[in-house]
Chain A
Amino acid sequence: GAVVSQHPSRVICKSGTSVKIECRSLDFQATTMFWYRQFPKQSLMLMATSNEGSKATYEQGVEKDKFLINHASLTLSTLTVTSAHPEDSSFYICSARGPGPYSGNTIYFGEGSWLTVV
């Protein structure tokens, strides 16, 4: 299957700083990428849908000014957590829709990025 890679896999940052997480589709072009957050022992929560060359669409309750998403190319989307606080500590996961124009094409996930805010 198609490969989606995230970087960094783990990051620790100080409260009040910003941190950027990258999501890359390694062997295909992804016009649409998705960002999720997962707290321990909970399911994945969709944060936003990122479309190349346009503004991201955020799910209800997700602060777009806090979680900045940029999808500047067909293989890269970034999530920046601004003014991070300890409650932002979580597992962040990106995914990308695989190649093909059809509704049935598969969405592949990255390995996830652990963010710890101290």
Chain B
Amino acid sequence: DAKTTQPPSMDCAEGRAANLPCNHSTISGNEYVYWYRQIHSQGPQYIIHGLKNNETNEMASLIITEDRKSSTLILPHATLRDTAVYYCIVRVGQGGSEKLVFGKGTKLTVNP
């Protein structure tokens, strides 16, 4: 079973920041938080991941709370092409046996 909780849907205005929350209250100390998104009828696209420090790349920023029980994915300037289902995933397993178990994700709709 997925170890994360996300709102089922969110809306965002084009050009504004989209902040997608995720709760992972049972996360272990060595488990990473991963974010992927899936545009309709395509394979999931990797966005970003982190362990405990905040992370930023060309796509997004990831803010992880100090207790690591929740995180927020930030798309700084959302565009219509960012409309997708966003998955927050805690990587299950360790030592080479890691796998990604998907929950239901958040359907983000970016409106013009």
Contact = CB atoms under 8 A, between A and B. Distances in A.
B96 A32 contact: yes
A109 B100 CA distance: 11
Contact of B36 (A6, A34, A101, A109): A109
A107 B102 contact: no
Interface string A1-30: 100101000000000000000000000000
A52 B46 CA distance: 23
B77 interface: no
Contacts of A45: 102
Interface residues of B, number: 27
Interface residues of A, number: 26
A111 interface: yes
Contacts of B95: 103
A93 B43 contact: yes
Given A43-B103, A103-B30, A104-B32, A109 B44 contact: yes
Contacts of B68: none
B43 A97 contact: no
B24 to A, nearest CB: 16
Nearest to B93: A103
Contact of A112 (B43, B49, B100, B104): B43
B32 A110 contact: no
B89 to A, nearest CB: 9
B49 A106 contact: yes
A4 to B, nearest CB: 8
Contact of A103 (B94, B100, B102, B103): B94
Contact of B46 (A34, A44, A104, A107): A107
Q: Point out which of B30, B36, B103 has the most chain A C-beta atoms below 10 A from its C-beta.
A: B36
Interface of A: 1, 4, 6, 32, 34, 36, 43-46, 49, 91, 93, 95, 97, 101, 103-104, 106-112, 114
